[in-house]
A = this chain, B = another copy of it.
Amino acid sequence: MCELLGMSANVPTDICFSFSGLRARGGRTGPHKDGWGMAMYRDTNVWTLHDPSPSADSDIAEVISNTSLKCDIVISHIRQANVGAVCLLNTHPFSRLLWDKTWSYAHNGQLEDANALPITLYHPLGNTDSERAFCWIIEQLQARLGESEPSLDEISTILSELALQLKSRGVFNMMLSDGVRLYCFCTTKLHWITRRAPFKKATLSDEDVIIDFKEVTTDKDVVTVIATQPLTHDETWQQMEEGELCVFEGGEVVCQIKAN
């Protein structure tokens, strides 16, 4: 299993507090030592970082967790390898072009017989079930929704169908973003919290770190953090349901599709 971390905010927001908590699980408080990566969007532009080393020991992870890098959307992933060797090209998040945007994606779980998912246009660079499923999703979205970008409802409906198909092959917890919205799908474990005024203090579960969000925000800020497991132990996180798709934009839930 791996761990996922996502963020959606209505103003460029620092992820380093949450990332410090996630990072500790990459070889210290958790077993996810097989690499880590992140995609950070700001004004729909994305930059990425991929490192197949354990995040708990990584020089560059140390730099990132101590640096204020503000962004609108983040997808981060720490890996515990099941399918595919530990190497750069198997390190999430993966990115592909669709509708003139760069889509980034990370997956937690295992999928049976992922190589049976038909793809013809988008090809994996590595050999994980996760990347194969991503290529299939992007290809299906394009095939079913056409060459230009459809509405939120159209994308969400199809994405929910595709995610449920993947869920039938195993465990499919997933984060996907185009730089505007963050699409999250849950099979087993995904939790989220929206922080807004009045902001309070919070304490990381995995590191001896407390932050007072009041000191680093304004009254208008809305910031949602999504993670495999809650990252703080003194806040109330919401647990996503099995088969639920939840879409965030500017820190707010803009679409929710439940399996039943």
List A residues at the B interface (Cβ < 8 Å). 45-53, 58-60, 63, 67, 69-70, 87-89, 95-97, 102, 123, 125-126
Contacts and interface: CB of A to CB of B under 8 A. Distances in A.
Contacts of A58: 47
A88 B47 contact: yes
Contacts of A60: 47, 49, 69
A51 B59 contact: no
Contact of A47 (B52, B89, B123): B52
Given A63-B63, A89-B96, A47 B46 contact: no
A48 B50 contact: yes
B69 A63 contact: yes
A51 B244 CA distance: 32
A49 B147 CA distance: 29
Given A59-B69, A63-B69, A69-B63, A88 B48 contact: yes
A104 B49 CA distance: 14
Contacts of A95: 88-89, 125
A233 to B, nearest CB: 30
Contacts of A102: 87-89
Contacts of A88: 46-48, 95, 102
Given A89-B97, A97-B89, A48 B47 contact: no
Given A88-B102, A89-B96, A53 B59 contact: no
Given A48-B88, A89-B96, 6 more contacts: A47-B53, A48-B49, A48-B50, A60-B69, A63-B69, A96-B125
Nearest to A102: B88
Contacts of A49: 47-49, 60
A50 B93 CA distance: 12
Task: Give the one of A47, A51, A63, A96 with max B CB within 10 A.
Answer: A47
A81 B24 CA distance: 39
A49 B125 CA distance: 17
A102 B87 CA distance: 7
A89 B95 CA distance: 8
Contacts of A51: 47-48
Contacts of A45: 52-53
Contacts of A59: 69-70
